[in-house]
Structure 1
Amino acid sequence: MSYKDRAEVFPKGLRLKSVTKNDNGVYTCEVTSKDSSGTLLYGQAKTTLTVLVPPSIPVAQVPTSVTNGGVAVLSCIEKDGSPPATFSWFKDKVLLPSNPKDSPTFQNSSYTFNPTTGVLKFEPVTKGDSGEYYCEAKNSEGSQTSGVVRMNAEDVNVGGIVAAVIVSLLILALIAFAVWFAYSRGYCNKKTNKKVIYSQPSETRSDRNFQQTSSFLV
């Protein structure tokens, strides 16, 4: 962000106007002077600026359908807070502990959670993990919660997989039969014999240009 018309330097400091989180960072002040002997003296000081901004409403990215025994990754997205927000997850309005084994409510779940990134990972997924999820982003300036998204843990559709395999095998069998039938009928072996007829053009003689090729003696 440009500092034009926003930065004001005075003898002992710097004043910034209309600050945003983009102004966050480390600022360095340098001082030079000379002592009585004329030796150049140099000094430096650093300070960190953090512009405080409350979090915006986070976005909960939750898969709506997952398979039992598989992996499910839930993400909480919020990038406006300053300092950066930390995250929490709720299932059916109950706060998920950082370790599921610490709570009788979630002791049958297997998940890991990173409060800094907001990523909640179930591995493996169980039917008990089905429910309504939402997340919270929080920093020193406030907190916001996301919308609610339902996740359903379902068994593998074995019947559908078997049916798909059978249909695929039937299609392959039909293709093989069609190829065999074509060869057995000779459709794939016939060669087209093209007859080339050469016609020599006849030489036409006109009466006017006709010359007698025999002579008679009388």
Structure 2
Amino acid sequence: MFRTERDQNPRIEWKKKGKDVSFVYYDGQFRGPFEGRASIDGATVTLRRVTQKDAGEYRCEISAPFDSVSLGETNVTLKVLVPPQTPLCEIPSSAVTGSVVQLRCRDQQSIPPATYSWYKDKEPISPPRHANATYQINAHTGVLEFKAVAKEDTGQYSCLASNGVGPSKMCEGNRMTIEDINVAAVAAAVVVVCLLVAICGCGGYLLHRNGFFSRHRGRSNVNYIPPPQEPQDFKHTQSFML
């Protein structure tokens, strides 16, 4: 809003601040991306179909050369709010009892940033009330962490994102199954590994004992002595070539 003293036709300009100052309304016309989707009444600008690119700081300048105060200006900050989108949830399908498990939920498009709440079998999971709870929920990061999962933690999990701008959105749930450690399988694997180590050790000992790892393997200590030649064996009488 503005008021002039004598000038009945002041000059109105709108600019958008940023790395470079750009014109929004100049010389009676809207410029750039505002052309065709904005209108002005007095000095009040109405924008339609706003996007995140429209967010920022704007400056309104009123020039009145015939007034004692020839220039007036004010700044307006425009925040474009974005309702929650369907969050992306990371929920493991299975885990082993006693292990640490994290379930993650995030929505990177909502403005202001969304807060998160978790559900198990369509029932809300209450935030833990004491430090010794078996799980923790961070409403700002969307992480649900189990310090040591148990069989009773098996269920269908889902996450709800909210920011107060539009309707909340929930991700598609996923079932997480908690399984016990197979002690018999672990013991059998340990026995098999021990047997393999024992067999390899015995085989190496036998090979070493039989000299396969000797440094002088392949050498002979027997000196070759050619047999004596008898005078009657052969006499070289002339040269010949085959």
Q: Give the TM-score, by structure 1 length.
A: 0.68
Runs of 4+ in 1 over 6 A off after TM superposition: 38-43
SS in 2 for 1:27: strand
Contact 2:50 2:80 (C-alpha < 8 Å) held by counterparts: no
Aligned to 1:21: 52
Aligned to 1:58: 87
- % identical equivalent positions: 30
Gaps of 5+ in 2: 1-21, 23-30, 225-235
1:128 has 2:140 as partner: no
**CA drift at 1:169:** 1.2
Aligned to 1:85: 114
**CA drift at 1:138:** 2.1
SS in 1 for 2:105: strand
CA separation of 1:31 and 1:21: change in aligned 2, threshold 3 A = closer
Gaps of 5+ in 1: 102-107, 197-201, 207-218
CA separation of 1:92 and 1:14: change in aligned 2, threshold 3 A = same
RMSD: 3.7
SS in 2 for 1:142: coil
SS in 1 for 2:32: coil
- Which residue among 93, 96, 99 is the counterpart of 2:125? 96
Aligned to 2:176: 151
* Cα distance between partner residues in 1 of 2:32 and 2:75: 25
Tell me the matched-pair count: 189
Q: Give the TM-score, by structure 2 length.
A: 0.62
1:188 has 2:213 as partner: yes
**CA drift at 1:205:** 5.7
**CA drift at 1:157:** 2.5
CA separation of 1:30 and 1:178: change in aligned 2, threshold 3 A = farther
SS in 1 for 2:192: helix
**CA drift at 1:96:** 0.9
Matched to 1:175, the amino acid is C
- Greater RCO (CA < 8 Å, at least 6 residues apart): 1
Matched to 1:127, the amino acid is K
Contact 1:7 1:15 (C-alpha < 8 Å) held by counterparts: no
* Cα distance between partner residues in 1 of 2:202 and 2:72: 91
SS in 2 for 1:70: coil
Matched to 1:5, the amino acid is G
Contact 1:100 1:111 (C-alpha < 8 Å) held by counterparts: no
**CA drift at 1:43:** 6.4
* Cα distance between partner residues in 1 of 2:156 and 2:137: 17
SS in 2 for 1:80: coil
**CA drift at 1:12:** 4.4
